[in-house]
Structure 1
Amino acid sequence: MPADAFSDIARVDARGKVLGQTRYGADTQLPAMLYAMLVPATVAKGTVRNIDVSPATGTSGVVQVLSLGDFPTLSREINYLGYPIAMVVAETLEAAIEGAEAIRATYDVTSFIPLMDSPGASIVPSEGFDTGNVDTEFQDAIEVVEGTFETPTQHHNAMELFGTVAHWSGGRLTVYEGCQNSDQARNALAEAMGISPELVTIKSEHVGGGFGQKSPPKLQTALVAEAARLTQRPVKLVTPRGQLFHIANYRPRSIHNIRLAANGEGRLTAIEYHVVQENWPDGGFRSSGYYQDVARLYAIDSFRATAGDIHIDRNMPRHTRGTHPFPAGFALESAIDEMAYRLGADPVQLRLDHEAKTDIIAGQPLAPHFLNDCLREGARRFEWSRRISQPASMRLEDGTLVGLGVACGIFGASGSAAETTLRVRADGTTRIISSGHEMGQGIRTAVVNAVVQGLDVNPDRIEVLLGDTSLGPQLATVGERGTASIIPATIKAAAALRARFRELAGANPPAGNLHQQLARLKRPYIEVTASELAPGQDASALEAFRAGRRAGAGSEYDGFTSMSYIAQFVEIHIEPRTRRVRMPRVVSIADVGRVVSPRTAIGQMHGGVVWGFSTALREQSEVDPRFAGYLNDDLADYVMAVNADIGEVDVGLIDKPDTLVNSAGVKGMGELVMLGTAPAIANAIYHATGKRIRKLPIRIEDVL
């Protein structure tokens, strides 16, 4: 049975973070440590002809300069601007920077494609999807909405940069860095170094934001490890943000052509959807992912989609928070809002009338969900009934235009094989060897809450160990998988420990909490290990997890599909003279199954709204087509939301368990929480102005 509702507890890591005691990878200080700086390629595509390292070797403080011949993982072939061609290692950071800036290289340059619409760019089709009677439904439709929607290239910009510290001792390699998938990073590093994974440890106990960018293994990890092996000293590299823009992953630009049909009864009957994105050849971010989740959002049985990539010569795009459903949802939810106006229907009621119960992609039932509860509760809190339907009809006394918008979001509920070891000691402490990565989302708090709900232990003396491959296998914390996988295992561990104690104590246990009882029984500790499998998995998935291989599943399971849902309600004010867009109020309601940590879940939702505002109205990575490089590659010029941009944010959680997806009824929310924000803002702007804006970010000139 799923766990009962969880009580609210404070963040267990709050005090350490406020006091600056939390240590991240780049905070590691080791004796005799050297400092490194990368030397990026200055061309977008070509071959390195020669590298002159002599100016760097003559720089005071430089210990060694490592170039292409010293790194088997690097190539002379340049496929994007900023690709590392050398690394300078020095006694100080300043000397490393000075040495790196002194190095010069010559190249044989070839032509490149910087943008999707550059000369020579062409579409490479991906897999599509077709179900129902799309052509017939469009022929019979009384209303058809169609439009082209575009979302821009955007970068993650986590507070923590890519920081790596590598140290060799006795043939063993230890690396300290922030990542979301430390097992995969360990295995990739071992392969690059030509050693056994058993000789490599990745320590990633705290991560200063990931959002997908810190999921794949980093190129710099192997470079720093090799530098440490060659110099026989610890080496640290913190990649500057300007370089990070050019070598790390990002959200690709995408263009969405969508048509939506409705019949005489006001039913939405068909969707035709065609999407292309910028991508690398054989890139890991599939264009087919755009239609797969949004096709499940509403009961629209006829759906046709095509997808494709346009290959560009920049660094590789990959998953960014909200991944495919963020851009796709902007297109679909904007089109549905436009259709509501065409039909004379209320945008909330139109969505309520199309509650989906079937997954048309997999051809099976959707797990019971509560999107309509999200819509009803959001409409109540937001006072949606005050909305006057006519665009540009609501104003403040000073002439400020007022717009109200609504949109929904959907994201797959995934899971993974996972394992937890729980030890309760007589000395008053509890230790949990868990799995996953703490990126600020609060997974440690969720683990602690699962333990204190199940066991009478000292809540302030619980140690949660995770993100360290020396402790055991570490779950990839991606795609809303972390909490949904490790919490069921933690709850099972607590239940197993209770049962073990009952066997030990017998019919008349001593008084006190669990620590005191163990002391009176003269037992130093009790320890148990429990595991969890995603639906349909068998023992082989647990073995894959223990070996650091892929062990995830979902959102399509055997016989059902499970998703997380959200409804966003946004109020927009547009100043009558400057046309500056303000967002004084948001109501955000989510269905994420059982809520394990209310405090951190609410924080996640606030963060999602902020990022949603930022993506809708601020963020865009500006590409210089002359060099295929990013012009605004710092926090001064890459415009993001600030405190003054965000008004009142009211969030709510339905907190009903998904009884099919795992034993605790938990679904993820990290990706979900920003979905629906951008189209809700665009829909509110239409309501305020009568202008339908189909391209992000929305600028002042768009609402003039």
Structure 2
Amino acid sequence: MTAAPFNDRARVDAYDKVRGVTQYAADIQFPRMLYAMTVPSRVAKGRMTAIVTDAAMQVPGVVRILTPADFPPPPEPTGEDGPPPPPPTLEMEIAYRGQPIALVLAETLEAAVQGAEAIRQRFADAPFSSVIDSEGSKREPVEDWVAGNAEQAMAGAVTTIEASYESPTQHHNPIELLTTTAVWADGRLTIYECSQGVNVTKGSVAAALRLDPAIVDVKSAYIGGGFGQKGLAQRQTALVAQAAILTGRPVKLVSPRGQIFHVATYRPNSRHKVQIGVDVNGKMIAANYHAEHEQSRTGFFSPAEYHESPIRMYGIENYRGTAANIRIDRQAPGYMRAPHPQASCFAFESAVDELAHKLGRDPVAFRIENDTQIDHKTGNPLSSRFLNECLIEGARRFGWERRSAMPGSMKADDGTQIGWGVAAGCYPSMMPPAIATLRINANGSTRFATSGHEMGQGIRTAIAAILVEGLDISTDKLEVVIGDTTAAPQHMTAGSWGTAGAIPATAKAVERMRAAVAELLEGRQIAGNLHQQLASVRRPFLQVEVSEVGPGQNADAIAALRQGGFVVAGPEYPDFTTMSYIAHFVEVRIEPRTRRIRMPRVVSIADCGRVISPRTAESQIRGGVVWAFSAALREATEIDPRFGGYLNNDLADYVVAVNADIGEIDVGFVDKPDLLANSVGLKGLGEVAMVGASAAIANAVFHATGKRLRELPIRIEHLL
């Protein structure tokens, strides 16, 4: 493979998507299918003492109602680190409001909904704590992140800044609702689900229902948005699977959005206290950073990871990061795009901006002068870091030299306040093992199967780019099979490691196929593409299988992948650390009377190693910037502390960014391969695209108004 930049190619699945041909999980249909609806708990904590189903069973079309009596008890916790045991099915004990207590099965969706509404439930209530400040919440410190001696270095600092920041509870809200269709036939269970981790789903359902994983298949060809919500196993999956087994009929559940708010993971409310010190030369020499967030009583989403990006942003040799869970009685939070860095870099990059202002320094120059090539947490070098190149190119495109430094000094003729803000971001670049099978047929078709899931980020397009660049094959009959446990062992696609898993394996398969073709032809020069060459030598197909692992991994990682294990390498590799970087430049305009904030333009430049699919990479950054605007100025989940439930659990009341909010987003890439990270030289992009952009917006609001706002979302009332 050459090191030349990849050509811009259209999405390989775009034509089918715009025509409505693409089938998502909820589109799957089977004869005799039953429709399911879950019944949520109406209390936040306690024990269900009775469930009355008589009236529900009288609803025409209702076939069966599953209760906790229809399920085995949940597995005991293992006590091991990592993801929790498989989610429980139906239980009498209630841990949070909205927890499913029953599943209604009916011939029609309408009957299932009516039956669910007819069920009556009785509980022995228990006291609960529903928000981070509730009485009864429990603080639980976690392990510190330490580099150098921050206390000693801070004592010698010439100038310091210290401030507290807060990010709200937020929910993912992908357009595609959580969907499960289960089929039990011939002693096998097949699950069609919108999942970023079909192997995780397979193992979790098998464990929850006491099944042999070998008889469970999970398929997730396309996902209508995931963003982390669909990474771990959903509670509903085992419910629907058990329903299919007990009835012998296919069963489908499409969860209502209001229920999804209450049962799926979300971004937790988090609080951040940041202190940074500089020496006489304006170099940042020390940082103390404490982060804490709301957490369920048994959740595992670690607050320690808020430090994973800030500790690697600049050359701060002395860093002390502390963190804590605040355990309350709601469902567990979890991964949501840029899970920890969205909040941590909002806090840290706001603090850096405050420090630059206090020092009278230009915030771009201040960041550039605090560059590093070392990961001070490990002492190892960074495999590549081109953040300064991102800042320099972003400033050039944005016209940063025209910025007036004084806050509140830039105004339009009508009095509109203009603010220019900058912030940077970084995100770990990781790599999972992958197994891939490439088959080229004489009939003109090609089939490539590997680990990965398509959430709209364009992984199929990136795979196709490698195949088409390296092999002379027909593109109109190219099939890329991912998200299918029957086609290849599957790792979870999350954390921006999907492409890093699939693409090096694809490149290896291309090289292996080229060698296989050369061996087959034995030096003969045969006209035509590979399909025609196979037909000429009367070979119906040629197939190769390859595997690839991350730096520092070996054959054990492949073995673990085959067994359904969760094996991801990085960002701390044996001899280096790999991070992706980005710089965002934002202009905001604030109307003088209404105080409405608009964002007419953004420039975002990313260091993500080699760019495999320029079109989908640009789309990832634009999507990340739009979401960062939404997170900074719109989104917050409202919790009713009296009942432990969510008040704005629909798209009418959960406010998100719309087209009118967003102006021009100019995207650029450094596009320098990182060949330490993997054989192709790519680094993760999907997550880092969002990191730092909310801070850039907040910094621009400060520049426009002179008012420093440290709590998201920033709304009109904060500027009145």
Do the structures match in fold with TM over 0.5? yes
Q: What is the alpha-carbon distance in structure 1 between the residues aligned to residue 193 and residue 444 of structure 2?
A: 32
Q: What is the alpha-carbon distance in structure 2 between the residues aligned to residue 296 and residue 499 of structure 1?
A: 41
Where 1:415 maps in the other structure, the secondary structure is: coil
- Give 1:107-122 correspondences, 5 Å limit: 107-122=123-138
TM-score in terms of structure 2 length: 0.97
Is the alpha carbon distance of 1:31 and 1:3 closer, same or farther for their aligned partners in structure 2, counting shifts above 3 Å? Answer: farther
- 1:507, distance to aligned residue in structure 2 (A): 2.1
Cα pair 1:369 1:658 within 8 Å, conserved:
no
Q: What is the alpha-carbon distance in structure 2 between the residues aligned to residue 206 and residue 134 of structure 1?
A: 47
Q: What is the alpha-carbon distance in structure 2 between the residues aligned to residue 367 and residue 591 of structure 1?
A: 12
1:77-120 deviations in whole A, cap 9, x for unaligned? 10000000001100100000000001111100010001111122
- Give 1:486-635 correspondences, 5 Å limit: 486-635=502-651
Where 1:75 maps in the other structure, the secondary structure is: coil
- 1:2, distance to aligned residue in structure 2 (A): 7.2
Q: What is the alpha-carbon distance in structure 1 between the residues aligned to residue 381 and residue 449 of structure 2?
A: 36
Q: 2:65 aligns to what? A: 65
- 1:475, distance to aligned residue in structure 2 (A): 2.2
1:52 aligns with 2:52: yes
- 1:3, distance to aligned residue in structure 2 (A): 4.7
Q: Taking every aligned residue pair, what percent have the same amino acid on both sides?
A: 53
Q: What is the alpha-carbon distance in structure 1 between the residues aligned to residue 646 and residue 188 of structure 2?
A: 38
Cα pair 1:2 1:659 within 8 Å, conserved:
no
- 1:512, distance to aligned residue in structure 2 (A): 1.5
Cα pair 2:435 2:488 within 8 Å, conserved:
no
Where 1:288 maps in the other structure, the secondary structure is: helix
Where 1:410 maps in the other structure, the secondary structure is: strand
Cα pair 1:337 1:347 within 8 Å, conserved:
yes
- Give 1:58-207 correspondences, 5 Å limit: 58-72=58-72, 73-207=89-223
1:356-406 deviations in whole A, cap 9, x for unaligned? 211122221111221111111111111111100000000000000000000
Q: 2:86 aligns to what? A: none
Matched residue type, 1:167: V
Which of 333, 338, 346 aligns to 2:354? It is 338
Q: 1:413 aligns to what? A: 429
Cα pair 1:331 1:679 within 8 Å, conserved:
yes
- Give 1:317-336 correspondences, 5 Å limit: 317-336=333-352
Q: 2:366 aligns to what? A: 350
Cα pair 2:298 2:332 within 8 Å, conserved:
no
Unpaired stretches in structure 2, ≥5 consecutive residues: 73-88
Which of 673, 676, 697 aligns to 1:660? It is 676
1:36 aligns with 2:36: yes
Unpaired stretches in structure 1, ≥5 consecutive residues: none
Q: What is the alpha-carbon distance in structure 2 between the residues aligned to residue 536 and residue 4 of structure 1?
A: 27
Q: What is the alpha-carbon distance in structure 1 between the residues aligned to residue 282 and residue 94 of structure 2?
A: 54
Q: What is the alpha-carbon distance in structure 2 between the residues aligned to residue 244 and residue 342 of structure 1?
A: 44
1:244 aligns with 2:260: yes
Matched residue type, 1:170: D
Q: What is the alpha-carbon distance in structure 2 between the residues aligned to residue 130 and residue 549 of structure 1?
A: 30
Q: What is the alpha-carbon distance in structure 2 between the residues aligned to residue 461 and residue 32 of structure 1?
A: 33
Q: What is the alpha-carbon distance in structure 2 between the residues aligned to residue 137 and residue 550 of structure 1?
A: 39
Cα pair 1:409 1:567 within 8 Å, conserved:
yes
1:578-622 deviations in whole A, cap 9, x for unaligned? 000000000011111111111111111110011010000000000
Q: What is the alpha-carbon distance in structure 1 between the residues aligned to residue 469 and residue 35 of structure 2?
A: 46
Work out the number of aligned pairs and report it.
Answer: 704
1:272-300 deviations in whole A, cap 9, x for unaligned? 11111101234221011001221011001
Cα pair 1:130 1:304 within 8 Å, conserved:
yes
- 1:427, distance to aligned residue in structure 2 (A): 1.3
Dislocated runs of 4+, deviation >6 Å:
none
Q: What is the alpha-carbon distance in structure 2 between the residues aligned to residue 33 and residue 501 of structure 1?
A: 46
1:388-446 deviations in whole A, cap 9, x for unaligned? 00000000000000000000111101001101111111111111012110010000000
- 1:449, distance to aligned residue in structure 2 (A): 0.4
- Give 1:213-252 correspondences, 5 Å limit: 213-252=229-268
- 1:133, distance to aligned residue in structure 2 (A): 3.2
- 1:231, distance to aligned residue in structure 2 (A): 1.4
Q: What is the alpha-carbon distance in structure 1 between the residues aligned to residue 304 and residue 149 of structure 2?
A: 20
Where 1:274 maps in the other structure, the secondary structure is: strand
Q: What is the alpha-carbon distance in structure 2 between the residues aligned to residue 264 and residue 330 of structure 1?
A: 26
Q: 2:279 aligns to what? A: 263
1:212 aligns with 2:212: no
1:398 aligns with 2:417: no
601-610 or 125-134: bigger deviation: 125-134
Q: 1:18 aligns to what? A: 18
Cα pair 1:292 1:361 within 8 Å, conserved:
no
Over the aligned positions, Cα root-mean-square deviation in angstroms equals 1.0
Which of 356, 367, 388 aligns to 2:404? It is 388
- 1:641, distance to aligned residue in structure 2 (A): 0.3
Cα pair 2:71 2:209 within 8 Å, conserved:
no
Which of 326, 351, 364 aligns to 2:380? It is 364
Matched residue type, 1:17: K
Matched residue type, 1:48: M
